[in-house]
Chain A
């Protein structure tokens, strides 16, 4: 069973910020939150990950609540190319751990 829950779909206007929520209430102390996205007909692509501090890279920002039970992926200025399925997963950062993807959130960016 997936360790995370996400809304099945969301819409966002082009140029606006897309905020994608994820609940992971059973996250363990050594587990990180990872985000991947999958554009149609492609393999999943890594976006960002974090433990407890907020993280930012060239693609997105990740906000993790203080209790670490939920997080939000932020795409600051969504473009049509950001239309994809976004997966939130939790896993240990180093070493092997079987990953469960769940069904993710289908983000539709609207012109």
Chain B
């Protein structure tokens, strides 16, 4: 079956540009997570959605980062006025809520490079 997909896979932005990263979770998954992964590091939590509700955004590094999931399925992570330190892989994960394993299924990520 279809897994989590993310687009674009690669994005190059000039410093100061706005970017939007898309996540298509597995159909029916209630939970959706965004992570930021710097080179050589593990994924760092950014934000969590349960359906359309953003229940935890404590990991967003600044007010330049904004995430939404308006209809409880597709999610978009937006970064305004990108900076070089925003260069990273952005991972999306989705999962059932309340399932016995409640594992997270990850997408391939979007590699963002800010020049």
Q: Which residue of the partner chain A has the closest CB to B43?
A: A101
Whether the Cβ atoms of B93 and A49 lie closer than 8 Å is no
Whether the Cβ atoms of A43 and B41 lie closer than 8 Å is no
How extensive is the interface on chain A, given as a class? 20 to 34
Count of residues in B whose CB is under 8 Å from the partner chain: 31
B104 at the interface (CB under 8 A from A): yes
Q: Name the prevailing secondary structure of the A interface residues.
A: loop
Cβ contacts A77-99/B at 8 Å (1 or 0 each) = 00000000101000001111011
Chain B residues, CB < 8 A from A46: 101, 103-105
Interface stretch, picked from B14-22, B50-58, B65-73, B77-85, is: B50-58
A43-B91, A44-B91, A102-B42 given as contacts; is B98 within 8 A of A94 (CB)? yes
Cβ contacts B1-38/A at 8 Å (1 or 0 each) = 00010000000000000000000000000010101000
Distance in Å: Cβ of A73 to nearest Cβ of chain B? 15
Distance in Å: Cβ of A106 to nearest Cβ of chain B? 9
B61 at the interface (CB under 8 A from A): no
List residues of B whose CB falls within 8 A of some A CB: 4, 31, 33, 35, 40-45, 48, 50, 55-56, 58-59, 91, 93, 97-109
